[in-house]
Amino acid sequence: LKAVYVIGILNFTFDEQSDDFYHHEVKLMDTRTKEVFYDKLTFIYLEMPKFNKSEEELNGMFEKWLFVLRNLSRLMERPKALQERIFTKLFEAAEIAKFTKTEYDSYEESLKIYR
């Protein structure tokens, strides 16, 4: 079987004492043998309140995605650190998501005509 990942993007923290640890990978363990019960099932929890990196501190795509998820509602323009093509698509979708009902209906109608 293929591996299954469950990703939880949390708007709360599990533990207030560990402020710098925001990414958790959890596997089920057999309590009798103390071994991983099934290695193809992984739970990933992202504690978003603990992710406080600035644009200048981002290292790699993972942190860039966390930055976008954490700050998308506050971003007025696309940050320089997010120039990859995938983020272009994301910001275009975000623009469409904030359309009014009338604007969205016009947009959908233009897509029908285009297609």
Q: For residue 113, is it within any domain?
A: no
pLDDT of residue 75: 81
18 assigned to some structural domain = yes
DSSP string, 19-38: TT--EEEE--EETTTTEES-
| pLDDT tens-digit series, residues 11-68 | 998 876 666 789 999 999 999 999 999 999 999 999 999 999 999 999 999 999 999 9
Residue 40 contacts residue 4 (beta carbons within 8 Å)? yes
pLDDT value, residue 2 = 93
pTM metric for this prediction: 0.72
Domain assignment present for residue 85? The answer is: no
Answer yes or no: is 38 within a domain. yes
Q: What is the reported pLDDT for 6?
A: 96
Alpha carbon 78 to chain centroid distance?
16
Query: What are the distances in angstroms from CA 28 to CA 39, 42, 53?
Result: 8, 8, 30
Residue 36 · residue 28 · CB < 8 Å: yes
Each residue of 61-93: pLDDT tens digit?
A: 999 999 998 988 888 788 888 889 888 888 888
Asked whether residue 23 is domain-assigned, the answer is: yes
- Count of the separate structural domains present in the chain: 1
Instruction: Tell me if 28 is assigned to some domain.
Output: yes
Residue 4 has pLDDT above 70, yes or no: yes
**Residue owning tokens 């596997």:** 27
Which has more pLDDT, 20 or 5?
5
Number of other CB atoms surrounding residue 61 within 10 Å: 11
Predicted confidence at residue 57, as pLDDT, reads 93
Say if 41 falls within a structural domain.
Answer: yes
Q: 110 or 73, which is more confident? A: 110
Structural domain including 26 reads 1-52
45 within a domain of the structure (yes/no) = yes
